[in-house]
């Protein structure tokens, strides 16, 4: 068992208090957005070995997954992640063009796809996946502006996924005039004041406009489902699903990738054409994950991917010790309380909230004692299969 030292990211959308509070540290005013745990080339973790420091990759090899603590103080960018083929082709093309890996305008940071799962640590709000056509039309028909009327008419002429994508393409490649966007915001404000809304679509525009006034992404949010996860709930976002997290703190577990294509609501590099190319059909992957219960203490969230799953174990003082799920290469994060891990060889390691540990296959059966909660990222086998419930 090796304690981890993890890199942090202070993106401008981060929260100045959530992650420091989670880690038991004092806020320093920075908008701390993410803590990365894994072996990704851009921000690999380090481990403590015999009082010294080594790279996690040097001890564990390259892990197929990584885990993040993510805290959104304001909305993230409208984004989508590529599938495996697009990631490989895009990565090779940017390498051939000589684009540095750390260049701000680089899109593909690695050749891997990026499906991901969000496990809520606080109430977590996100926009994810397209609303059904009929629902989008109800949203647009309620807004008395020329732009909303034009978009609704286009969707009536060409309904369904292809028609929605055509509207997305139009909005990101030929953004509306600022006055047209402002008119949409004003209409949403009028409707919300009258207690009129369609599944929080108008409220979302008002919330996001506080941070991105005049951004064409405000209009795009009208097309997306708003989903709220309560602490302990998880949702799966397959590659090709458009989304934008709004606020709250979660654990993200994903393939070891940082490929993100953005279309708005951001100060980072945007790639509208690339985003449209990555959009995929099939909203069944936009799903809440029903966990598999192991014993009485552990819930296993296993979406339909080969690279990652998450097991969350809660233990009470009265318990004699609860076995953590799995025996392979695992990353364990204490998400609450004070616990102690006990390896098969008798080694012990104490953890409080925010502490993270790499568990090696050689550690064998690892038990957790004390009172608290431990989340474990791992590569699933055929014995566990999560159930996905369509959110829309």
Asked if residue 63 lies in contact with residue 256, where contact means CB atoms within 8 angstroms, the answer is: yes
Q: Provide the sign of the torsion angle of the four alpha carbons 7, 12, 14, 15, taken in this order.
A: positive
User: How far is Cα 58 from Cα 55, in angstroms, rounded to an integer?
Assistant: 5
First-to-last alpha carbon distance for the chain, in angstroms, is 41
Active site residue 262: yes
User: How far is Cα 266 from Cα 212, in angstroms, rounded to an integer?
Assistant: 8
Residue whose structure tokens are 């028909």: 141
Asked if residue 38 lies in contact with residue 56, where contact means CB atoms within 8 angstroms, the answer is: yes
HSE at residue 341, side-chain half, CA atoms within 13 A, is 29
Q: What H or E segment, with its residue span, contains residue 273?
A: helix 272-278
Of 314, 264, 267, 308, the C-alpha closest to 289 is 308
Beta bridge partners of 357: 3, 332
Which residue among 262, 285, 329, 330 is the active-site one? Answer: 262
User: How far is Cα 294 from Cα 273, in angstroms, rounded to an integer?
Assistant: 44
Beta bridge partners of 285: none
User: How far is Cα 57 from Cα 265, in angstroms, rounded to an integer?
Assistant: 34
What are the angstrom distances between the C-alpha of 236 and each of 241, 289, 386? 10, 7, 11
Q: What H or E segment, with its residue span, contains residue 204?
A: helix 201-209
User: How far is Cα 138 from Cα 168, in angstroms, rounded to an integer?
Assistant: 17
Extract long-range pairs of 25-29: CB within 8 Å, 24+ residues apart: none
Encode 328-346 in three state secondary structure.
CCEEEEEEEEEEEEECCCC
User: How far is Cα 46 from Cα 163, in angstroms, rounded to an integer?
Assistant: 47
User: How far is Cα 135 from Cα 156, in angstroms, rounded to an integer?
Assistant: 12
Q: Catalytic residues, which ones? A: 262
């Amino acid at each position: 068992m090796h304690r981890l030292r993890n890199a942090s990211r202070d993106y401008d959308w981060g929260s100045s208090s959530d992650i420091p509070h989670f880690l038991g540290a004092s806020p320093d005013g920075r908008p701390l957005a993410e803590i990365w745990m894994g072996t990704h080339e851009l921000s690999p973790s380090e481990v403590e070995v015999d009082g010294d420091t080594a790279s996690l990759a040097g001890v564990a090899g390259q892990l197929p997954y990584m885990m993040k603590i993510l805290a959104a103080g304001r909305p993230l960018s409208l984004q989508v992640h590529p599938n495996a083929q697009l990631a490989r082709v895009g990565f090779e093309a940017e390498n051939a063009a000589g684009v540095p890996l750390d260049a701000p305008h680089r899109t593909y940071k690695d050749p891997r796809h990026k499906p991901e799962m969000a496990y809520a640590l606080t109430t977590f709000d996100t926009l994810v996946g397209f609303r059904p056509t009929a629902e989008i039309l109800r949203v647009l028909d309620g807004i008395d502006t020329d732009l909303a009327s034009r978009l609704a008419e286009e969707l009536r002429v060409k309904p369904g996924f292809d028609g929605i994508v055509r509207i997305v393409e139009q909005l990101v490649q030929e953004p509306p005039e600022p006055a047209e966007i402002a008119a949409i915001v004003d209409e949403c404000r009028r409707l919300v004041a009258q207690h009129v809304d369609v599944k929080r679509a108008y409220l979302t525009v008002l919330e996001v406009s506080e941070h991105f006034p005049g951004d064409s992404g405000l209009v795009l949010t009208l097309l997306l489902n708003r989903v709220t996860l309560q602490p302990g709930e998880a949702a799966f976002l397959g590659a090709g699903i458009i989304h934008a997290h709004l606020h709250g703190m979660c654990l993200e577990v994903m393939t070891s990738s940082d490929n993100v294509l953005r279309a708005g609501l951001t100060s980072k590099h945007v790639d509208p054409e690339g985003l449209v190319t990555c959009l995929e059909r099939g909203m069944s992957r936009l799903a809440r994950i029903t966990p598999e219960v192991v014993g009485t203490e552990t819930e296993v969230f296993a979406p339909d991917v080969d690279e990652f799953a998450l097991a969350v174990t809660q233990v009470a003082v009265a318990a004699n010790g609860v076995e953590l799920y799995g025996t392979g290469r695992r990353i364990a994060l204490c998400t609450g309380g004070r616990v102690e891990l006990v390896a098969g060889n008798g080694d012990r390691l104490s953890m409080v909230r925010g502490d993270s540990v790499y568990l090696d296959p050689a550690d064998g059966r690892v038990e957790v004692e004390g009172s608290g909660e431990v989340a474990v990222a791992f590569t699933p086998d055929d014995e566990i299969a999560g159930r996905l419930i369509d959110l829309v």
